[in-house]
C-alpha cells in the first residue's frame, strides 16, 4: 500500500545551496531524500516542496510530501527523521494525505517574512537571519505605501529572476504588512504563489524606497511597466524565511505550522535615533 505523507519542516538555510537538488551541492531536498531512503525499503523517493527556496533562505513552515510503502507508522516519521537529519533541519509534524494531494499545487498561499536589522551597529547574533541596513533610518511609512500598492492580481515580471520556467508572471498578493519594533523592521508578504526570486528583488526595491533613494512613483513605474532591467538590487537571502503554507482543508496542527519563526524585538538605542552614522 502506498501512503502519501506530508511533512511540515523547519530549516536554517545557511549551509545549503537552496531547496532543489543540484549536482555536487548540499541541498535541503537532497538531504531529506537521503534520510528518507534510509527508512524506506522501496528505495529512493522524491520529495516535493511547496516552495523552492533559494540558497541561504530559511523556512519555519515549509511543507513537503513524498510517497511511502514502508512499515513506519505515519506519526513516527517526524521522530524517525529527526534522529537522522542534521541539526539545521527539523520535522515538526507528519500527516497522511490523499494520494492526489500535492504540497505545491494544493497550496492556497505561501507567506514569507523578511527581517531587517536597522540598528547603527552590528549584532553578531542576528547577522545570519537579518539584513543589516545601518546607513539610513528606514522610513517604514513610505515602505508601507509601496507595499499596499502590490495587493491583488498583477504581472510582477519586474521582480522575476531569469531562469524561471513559469508560463507567465501573474500572481495574487493577498496580504502585506510592515512593522518596526525597535531596531527590527519586519515585512510579511502572503501570495497565491511567488515568482523565482520575487521577494528578494522586491525587498531590494522596497529598502531603496525606505532609504529615499527611490521614490514611490519610480517604484510603482518599474514594477507596473515590468522594467526588470531597472531592478538591479536583490536583498540578501539570509533575511528571508518561508513561515507558512496554507491549505484547505487544514492538514497540520496550528501550533506546528504557524509562525514558528520568532519575530525579534530590539530597543532603538539612543545612538539610532539621531545617529552619527544614520543620514537624513
At 227, which CATH number?
A: 3.30.70.660
Q: Which residues contact 52 (CB under 8 A, 6 or more apart)?
A: 18, 19, 20
Question: If you write DSSP's letter for every residue of 57-72 in order, what string do you get?
Answer: -EEEEEEEEEEE-SS-
Q: Are 11 and 88 in contact (CB under 8 A)?
A: yes
d(CA 194, CA 46): 22
Give yes or no: residues 116 and 82 share one domain. Answer: no
Model pTM score: 0.92
Q: Copy the grid coordinates of residue 139.
A: 522610513
pLDDT of residue 280: 45
d(CA 207, CA 26): 31
pLDDT of residue 164: 77
Q: How many other C-beta atoms are found inside a 10 Å radius of the C-beta of residue 98?
A: 10
Domain extent, residue 246, equals: 109-257
CATH code where residue 79 lies: 3.30.70.580
Residue 84 lies in a domain: yes
Residue 238 lies in a domain: yes
pLDDT in tens, the chain (280 residues): 899 999 999 999 999 999 999 999 999 999 999 999 999 987 789 999 999 999 999 999 999 999 999 899 999 999 999 999 999 999 999 999 999 999 999 999 999 999 999 999 888 999 999 999 998 999 999 999 999 999 999 999 999 998 777 889 999 999 999 999 999 999 999 999 999 999 999 999 999 999 999 999 999 999 999 999 999 999 999 999 999 999 999 999 877 777 777 777 777 654 444 444 444 4
pLDDT of residue 268: 63
Q: Are 47 and 33 in contact (CB under 8 A)?
A: yes
Residue 266 lies in a domain: no
pLDDT of residue 272: 43
Give yes or no: residues 54 and 192 share one domain. Answer: no
Give yes or no: residues 89 and 159 share one domain. Answer: no
Counting the structural domains of the chain, the total is 2
Give yes or no: residues 90 and 16 share one domain. Answer: yes
Active site residues: 54
pLDDT of residue 243: 95
Q: Copy the grid coordinates of residue 119.
A: 540598528
Domain end call among 49, 65, 97: 97
From residue 118, alpha-carbon distances to 123, 202, 205 in Å are 10, 18, 16
Amino acid at each position: 500500500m502506498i501512503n502519501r505523507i506530508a511533512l511540515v519542516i523547519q530549516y536554517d538555510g545557511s549551509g545549503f545551496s537552496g531547496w532543489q537538488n543540484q549536482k555536487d551541492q548540499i541541498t535541503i531536498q537532497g538531504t531529506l531524500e537521503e534520510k528518507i531512503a534510509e527508512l524506506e525499503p522501496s528505495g529512493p523517493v522524491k520529495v516535493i516542496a511547496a516552495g523552492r527556496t533559494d540558497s541561504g533562505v530559511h523556512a519555519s513552515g515549509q511543507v513537503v510530501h513524498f510517497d511511502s510503502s514502508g512499515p513506519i507508522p505515519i506519526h513516527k516519521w517526524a521522530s524517525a527523521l529527526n534522529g537522522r537529519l542534521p541539526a539545521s533541519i527539523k520535522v515538526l509534524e507528519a500527516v497522511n494525505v490523499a494520494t492526489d494531494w500535492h504540497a505545491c499545487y494544493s497550496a492556497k498561499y505561501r507567506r514569507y517574512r523578511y527581517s531587517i536589522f536597522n540598528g547603527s551597529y552590528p549584532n553578531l547574533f542576528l547577522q545570519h537571519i537579518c539584513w543589516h541596513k545601518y546607513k539610513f533610518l528606514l522610513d517604514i511609512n513610505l515602505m508601507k505605501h509601496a507595499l499596499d500598492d502590490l495587493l491583488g492580481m498583477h504581472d510582477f515580471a519586474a521582480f522575476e529572476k531569469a531562469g524561471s520556467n513559469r508560463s507567465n508572471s501573474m500572481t495574487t498578493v493577498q496580504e502585506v504588512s510592515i512593522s518596526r519594533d525597535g531596531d527590527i523592521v519586519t515585512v510579511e508578504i502572503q501570495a497565491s504563489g511567488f515568482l523565482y526570486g520575487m521577494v528578494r528583488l522586491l525587498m531590494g526595491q522596497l529598502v531603496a524606497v525606505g532609504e529615499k533613494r527611490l521614490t514611490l512613483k519610480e517604484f510603482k513605474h518599474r514594477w507596473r511597466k515590468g522594467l526588470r532591467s531597472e531592478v538591479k538590487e536583490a536583498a540578501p537571502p539570509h533575511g528571508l524565511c518561508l513561515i507558512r503554507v496554507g491549505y484547505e482543508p487544514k492538514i497540520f496542527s496550528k501550533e506546528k505550522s504557524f509562525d514558528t519563526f520568532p519575530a525579534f524585538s530590539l530597543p532603538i538605542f539612543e545612538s539610532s535615533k539621531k545617529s552619527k552614522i544614520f543620514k537624513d
